[in-house]
Amino acid sequence: MSAGITIFSQKAFHTFEQCPLKFRYVYRDGLAWLREDHFRKNSAQWAKRGRDFHLMAERYFSRLPLEKFPSAFPEGQKWLTSLREFLPLREEEIYFPEHQVISEGEISLVATFDLVRLHGGRITLYDWKVGERPLKPHVLRKNWQTIVYLVVAEKESMRYFGIEPKGLSLVYWNPVIPDSPVTLTPTSASIKKYQYRIHEIASQCKDVLDGGEVPPNTDHCPMCSYRYCCTGEPVGEEIFEQDEVSRDDEIQWDEITEIPF
């Protein structure tokens, strides 16, 4: 384990699923992390807006002054108004913005939640997704962010928040389309299924970290910023010709704040 990885994040699992060889470059060989959003049309601009919104939301739920932030980007005032309407601050509720939780065990996991809200004996996790397209429940339900976040919160809710995870839910919200949040409420069966998937992929990741054979996923090559390491070819213009709508499941806005373990 030359890169020293001991804790897995949803990003690590997503990277392995994209391409085990890419996972090796980052987490075993220790190559610098490269973000693909810089290579996608309009993605860098949206990533900047996403960072600005995440910072604004963090200040809002920390009850800090926000006078200067709406002018930092064109949509600031509109998005702030939408956020206040979506989640008005209440004195009886407790908010933990940009809150990291580490779950230690046979497979240790880390999750950095955009917001943890404690209300009426329940825990609601929030993740901000900033983009032009509507959120897709069927995509979010199966992605690694949902899986890791719910498993970590379910296991650690008493230790970190003093609340049983009976009322646990995860809400994805996009300030660009504020009237269409996606709420996911896990069952005992779904948590067990998620735990199994984590155990399965973590075992494969550990094999790579321990020096196992690493097969590439050639389907991911056109979108991979490490393509030069495999083929000697730089990322070409065809990356800008990809149909981005068909690749929604690969757009990881949580990369904006996720710790790249």
Long-range pairs for 11-14 at CB < 8 Å and ≥24 separation?
11/144, 11/252, 11/254, 11/255, 11/258, 11/260, 11/261, 12/205, 12/260, 12/261, 13/144, 13/147, 13/148, 13/198, 13/201, 13/202, 13/205, 14/143, 14/144, 14/145, 14/252
Residue 44 lies inside a defined structural domain of this protein: yes
Total number of domains constituting the chain: 1
Q: Note the Cα 206 to chain centre separation in Å.
A: 21
Quote the CA–CA distance of 145 and 112 in Å, as a whole number: 10
Answering whether pTM is above 0.95, one says: no
> What is the Rg, in whole angstroms, of the alpha carbon atoms belonging to the chain?
19
Kindly state the average pLDDT of the residues 217-244: 65
Q: Which of 38-42, 126-130, 164-168 has the highest mean pLDDT?
A: 126-130
**Residue 1 placed within a domain:** no
For residue 223, tell me if it sits in a domain.
yes
Residue 5 lies in a domain: no
8 Å CB contact between 112 and 100: yes
CA torsion 98-171-181-99 (nearest 10°) is 0
Tens digit of each residue's pLDDT (9 = 90 or more) over 194-230: 999 999 999 999 999 998 888 778 887 777 778 777 7
CATH number of the CATH domain containing 120: 3.90.320.10
* Domain hosting residue 46, numbered range: 10-256
Per-residue pLDDT tens over the stretch 28-60? 888 876 655 554 556 677 778 888 899 999 999
Give the 3-state secondary structure of residue 259: coil
Give residues with Cβ within 8 angstroms of 14, minimum separation 6: 143, 144, 145, 252
